[in-house]
């Protein structure tokens, strides 16, 4: 067995009231001018989000192949969905399809898909694994 170490008290006491910086002085230090915050005349308009889309990586029922699936695009026109899918496929260099209200891109390309959807002003949420 090892030696017993002395235990330090954690009950508060005087040791916690000691401030090690009390002995320091600010003599000889230059003062920093206080500046007022700069207010711009034209506030930036925040781009309004077009809605939430869930990006999920799925593997089940696909023969072990990984697919990135985008849910929540039911209210978007078919033409725009096709354009977004085409951009995703060319950016990632993979195939993809539209099934019902979801977009499917082959492989685990969630980061590239997120970037493209955020450029289109969607709020992207990673769902699942």
Residue 42 pLDDT greater than 70, yes or no: no
pTM (predicted TM-score): 0.61
Q: How many angstroms separate the CA atoms of 62 and 48, rounded? A: 36
Q: Which long-range contacts (CB under 8 A, 24 or more apart) does 109-114 make?
A: 109/68, 110/55, 110/57, 110/68, 112/88, 113/55, 113/68, 113/70, 113/88, 114/55
Quick one: pLDDT band at residue 44, thresholds 50, 70, 90? low
Residue 124 pLDDT greater than 70, yes or no: yes
36-45, 75-84, 88-97 — which is least confidently predicted?
36-45
Burial class (CB in 10 A: 0-12, 13-18, 19+), 56: middle
CATH of 52-127, one of 3.30.780.10, 3.20.20.70, 3.30.420.10, 3.40.718.10: 3.30.780.10
Q: How many angstroms separate the CA atoms of 110 and 129, rounded? A: 11
The mean pLDDT value of the chain amounts to 83
How many C-beta neighbours within 10 Å does residue 24 have?
8
Percentage with pLDDT > 70 across the chain: 83
Task: Find the mean pLDDT for residues 98-115.
Answer: 92
């Amino acid at each position: 067995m090892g030696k017993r170490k002395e235990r330090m008290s954690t009950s508060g006491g005087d040791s916690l009231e000691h401030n090690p910086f009390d002995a320091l002085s600010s003599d000889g230090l230059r003062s920093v001018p206080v500046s007022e915050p700069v207010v711009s005349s034209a506030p930036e308009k925040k781009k309004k989000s077009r809605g939430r889309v869930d990006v999920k990586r799925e593997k089940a029922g696909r023969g072990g192949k990984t697919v990135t699936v985008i849910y929540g695009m039911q209210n978007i026109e078919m033409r725009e969905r096709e354009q977004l899918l085409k951009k995703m496929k060319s950016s990632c260099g993979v195939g993809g399809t539209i099934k019902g209200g979801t977009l499917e891109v082959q492989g685990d390309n969630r980061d590239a898909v997120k970037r493209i959807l955020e450029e289109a002003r969607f709020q992207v949420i990673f769902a699942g694994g």
